Structure 1
Amino acid sequence: MAIEGVEQAAILEIDNQIRLRRYDGYHDFALIWHQDLELVWLVDGDKEPYSHDLLNRMYDYLSKNGECYFIEILENGQFLPIGDVTLFRDDFAIAIGDRRYWKKGIGTKVLQRMIERAREVGLEEILVEEIYDWNTGSRKLFEKCGFEVVEKTKKGWSYKKNL
């Protein structure tokens, strides 16, 4: 139970091609995403590829402190993970790890579904601790989905959406 008092859904449907599947402890396939230095720069502000240990610690943190899901897309009759998303009481994280799915509107669909999920679990707002200045794609995504800039951070901006 990552958000206290809330049972995490096993699957959150988005449409007939995209769904969110609850994190199940298996994430080795995600290491390749975190070897992509551009992705690491966008989400962490760092240019060091992840090690297995760092990947383990990241997913341990995400799954223990929020509702962590893999973003999956239907390909050849089966759902394949392409990224992850986590809703916390006081933060939010999303990453499309597979570059083939960047700039295809998937992030918008996922964020809209997670806004619905936040309402379902009784949150009154969604906070995003920081989106870096150079991550213009994420900043535009959140602003398009109704998030407002709260304040300037050291390397970017924090955002909030009232529900």
Structure 2
Amino acid sequence: MAITGIEQADILEIDKQVRLRRYDGQHDFAFEWHQDLELVWLIDGNKKPYTLDRLDRMYDYLSKNGECYFIEIFEDGQYQPIGDVTLFKDDFAIAIGDRRYWKKGIGTKVLHRMIERAREVGLEEIFVEEIYDWNTGSRKLFEKCGFEAVEKTKKGWSYRLTV
């Protein structure tokens, strides 16, 4: 129960090809994603690949402070994790870690489902603490889904959507 008083769903269905699976403590497969310096630049604003310890600490924080899910694609008869998404009471994070799935519309599907989830759990808004100026893909995604830039940050903008 990462959001106080809310029971996290085990699976959030999106469509026949995409679903969200509750974080279960296993994340070794995500280490490879966090070696991709372009991904790290987009999500962290630096170009330092993750260590296993940093990956452990990240998922520990995400799962204890929000509803953390793996984004999964159904291929070859089974679901494969390709990224993660976390809904917090006061922040939001999404990353398609496997770059083969970038620019395929998956982020849009996931964001729409998480907006729906925010409504289900009674949140009044989704707030994104910061999207970096150079992360144009994320900025376009959030704006396309109705988020508005609300405050200039040191390296980008914070975004908000009333749900």
TM-score normalised over the length of structure 2: 1.00
Gaps of 5+ in 2: none
CA RMSD of aligned residues (A): 0.2
Instruction: Please tell me the residue identity of whatever aligns with 1:104.
Output: K
**Distance in 1 between residues matched to 2:49 and 2:155, nearest whole Å:** 20
Distance 2:68 2:150 in 1: 24
Residues 16-75 of structure 1, C-alpha deviations (whole Å, 9 max, x = no match): 000000000000000000000000000000100000000000000000000000000001
Distance (Å, rounded) in 2 between the aligned partners of 1:150 and 1:53:
34
1:38 aligns with 2:32: no
Distance in 1 (CA, whole Å) between partners of 2:38 and 2:74 is: 25
1:88-103 aligned at under 5 Å gives the runs: 88-103=88-103
* Amino acid paired to 2:36: D
**Secondary structure of the residue that 1:150 maps to in structure 2?**
strand
Aligned-residue sequence identity (percent) comes to 83
2:49 counterpart SS class: coil
Shift of 1:137: 0.2
Q: Corresponding residue for 1:26?
A: 26
Displacement of 1:95 = 0.1
Structure 1 residue runs of 4 or more that deviate by more than 6 Å after TM superposition: none
Task: State whether structure 2 residue 82 is matched by structure 1 residue 82.
Answer: yes
**TM-score, normalising length from structure 1?**
1.00
Deviation at 1:160, TM superposition (A): 0.1
Distance 1:116 1:21 in 2: 16
The yes-or-no answer on 1:104 pairing with 2:104 is yes
- 2:139 paired residue number: 139
**Match of 1:69, SS?**
strand
The Cα shift of 1:108 comes to 0.1
Unaligned runs of 5+ in 1: none
Kindly tell me the number of residue pairs found equivalent between the two proteins. 163
Asked if residue 56 in structure 1 is aligned to residue 49 in structure 2, the reply is no
The amino acid that maps onto 1:29 is F
Secondary structure, counterpart of 2:48 in structure 1: coil
CA distance in structure 1 between the partners assigned to 2:10 and 2:46 by the alignment: 32
Measure, in 2, the Cα distance between the counterparts of 1:49 and 1:92. Answer: 22
